[in-house]
């Protein structure tokens, strides 16, 4: 079986909808792409149920062709961020909890679990990533069915992809070394909230944000994205139907302020070598060394 010490470095992210790749870890992908590491996105749905949040895009021709529009937006965002490859897992957006879309026969949440897992197995064996970034089981107050389903398929797909006896027609077995969960840290939220107030701008963070459990102690990895902070903005703006360019939440702070507030992407190591207790500064920590030693 091939393993993580014999191939080019590769990071693969598993996201639910077009625009998730821009809001979560875009700077990390841009940094690794700039280093020559292969960067791969798996987008599980087409985002067909997304609301049009930008008034300028709320037009009949957009609404009637939303799936195609969102795919074009995804391609533009992926290029801005620095993804080398985008794979669509091929499911329909399941919509928000308890919506009619939850029951659409082609939606991700209603898909047969083994089939969805095996679609991801095929992509893992094809792309051969050492590192995967995905979502945690506990997603707090945001219980979107598609985000929960991303968690449901990722770990079993990693197990099956490494099993040499499992469905050889899906490709040569491949062992992923690490799985990380992207994290929107309390430290980032606090820094942004304080900056809004200091600049006389109404903060988009109300008290509810700070009543949520503080899980920063679970962060194991902090990737420095200085020089790549702009990439998230560019990626978000590429999703013109989903992101209002006048949004205070995303764009309310001056760029020079935003870029120095929290120039890191935060992660939790979910699977891989035992965490040493101090934040890593590289999701490929330990992997680069082994590949170098085997080369």
Contacts of 67 (CB under 8 A, 6+ apart): 46, 47, 48
- Does 152 fall in a domain? yes
- pLDDT at position 122: 98
User: What pLDDT, on a 0 to 100 scale, did the predictor assign at position 102?
Assistant: 85
Which residues in 33-173 belong to E strands, given as ranges? 38-45, 85-91, 131-134
- Checking phi first, is residue 174 left (phi over 0); if not, alpha (psi -120 to 50) or beta? beta
Please indicate, yes or no, if residue 292 is contained in any of the structural domains. no
Say whether pTM exceeds 0.75.
yes
The burial class, CB within 10 Å (0-12 / 13-18 / 19+), for 208 is exposed
State the Cα–Cα distance between residues 224 and 45, nearest whole angstrom: 29
Query: Which CATH number does the domain housing residue 17 bear?
Result: 3.40.50.10320
Report the DSSP beta bridge partners of residue 38: 10
The number of domains in the chain is 1
pLDDT at 36: 97
pLDDT at 1: 52
Residues whose CB is less than 8 angstroms from the CB of residue 216 and which lie 6 or more positions away in sequence, other chains included: 185, 186, 187, 266
Q: In the structure encoding, which two tokens stand for residue 156, read together?
A: 């079993």
**Inside any domain, residue 234:** yes
The whole domain housing 271 covers 10-284
What's the rounded Cα separation, in Å, for the pair 272 and 283?
A: 11
Going by C-beta distance under 8 Å and a sequence separation of 6 or more, which residues neighbour residue 49?
A: 93, 94, 95, 96, 99, 101
Q: β-pairing, 264-271 with 221-224?
A: antiparallel
Can you give the pLDDT at residue 294? 47
Establish if 295 belongs to a structural domain.
no
**Residuewise pLDDT in 10s, the chain (295 residues):** 544 445 799 999 999 999 999 999 999 999 999 999 999 999 999 999 888 999 999 999 998 999 999 999 999 999 999 999 999 999 999 987 777 778 788 899 999 999 999 999 999 999 999 999 999 998 766 778 999 999 999 999 999 999 999 999 999 999 999 999 999 999 999 999 999 999 999 999 999 999 988 999 999 999 999 999 999 999 999 999 999 999 999 999 999 999 999 999 999 999 998 776 778 999 999 999 888 644 4
Cβ pair 181, 219 in contact under 8 A? no
For residue 4, what pLDDT is reported?
A: 46
Residue 96, pLDDT score: 76
**Could you tell me if residue 103 is inside a domain?**
yes
DSSP per-residue codes, 226-279: TT-HHHHHHHHHH-TTT--TT-HHHH-S-HHHHHHH--EEEEEEEESSPP-SS-
Residue 83 lies in a domain: yes
130 in a domain, yes or no? yes
Q: Is residue 2 part of a domain?
A: no
Q: Is 15 left (phi over 0), alpha (psi -120 to 50) or beta?
A: beta
């Amino acid at each position: 079986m091939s393993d993580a010490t014999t191939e080019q470095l590769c990071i693969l992210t598993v996201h639910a909808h077009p625009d998730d790749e821009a809001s979560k870890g875009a700077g990390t992908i841009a940094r690794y792409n700039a280093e020559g590491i292969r960067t791969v996105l798996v987008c599980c749905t087409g985002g067909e149920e997304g609301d049009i949040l930008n008034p300028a895009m709320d037009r009949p021709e957009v609404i009637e062709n939303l799936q195609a529009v969102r795919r074009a937006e995804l391609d533009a965002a992926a290029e801005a961020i620095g993804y080398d490859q985008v794979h669509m897992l091929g499911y329909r957006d399941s919509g928000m909890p308890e919506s009619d879309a939850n029951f659409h026969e082609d939606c991700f949440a209603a898909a047969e679990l083994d089939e969805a897992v095996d679609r991801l197995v095929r992509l893992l064996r094809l792309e051969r990533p050492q590192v995967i970034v995905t979502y945690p089981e506990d997603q707090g107050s945001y219980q979107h069915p598609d985000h929960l389903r991303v968690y449901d398929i990722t770990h079993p797909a990693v197990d099956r992809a490494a099993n040499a006896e499992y469905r050889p027609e899906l490709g040569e077995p491949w062992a992923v070394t690490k799985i990380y969960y992207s994290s929107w840290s309390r430290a980032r939220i606090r820094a942004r909230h304080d900056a809004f107030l200091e600049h006389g701008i109404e903060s988009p963070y109300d008290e509810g944000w700070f009543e949520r459990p503080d899980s920063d102690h679970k962060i194991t990895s902090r990737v420095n994205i200085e020089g790549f902070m702009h990439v998230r903005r560019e990626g978000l703006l590429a999703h013109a139907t989903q992101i209002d360019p006048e949004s205070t939440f995303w764009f309310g702070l001056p760029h020079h302020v935003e870029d120095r507030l929290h120039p890191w992407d935060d992660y939790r190591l979910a699977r891989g070598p035992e965490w040493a207790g101090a934040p890593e500064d590289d999701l490929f920590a330990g992997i680069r060394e082994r590949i170098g030693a085997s080369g």
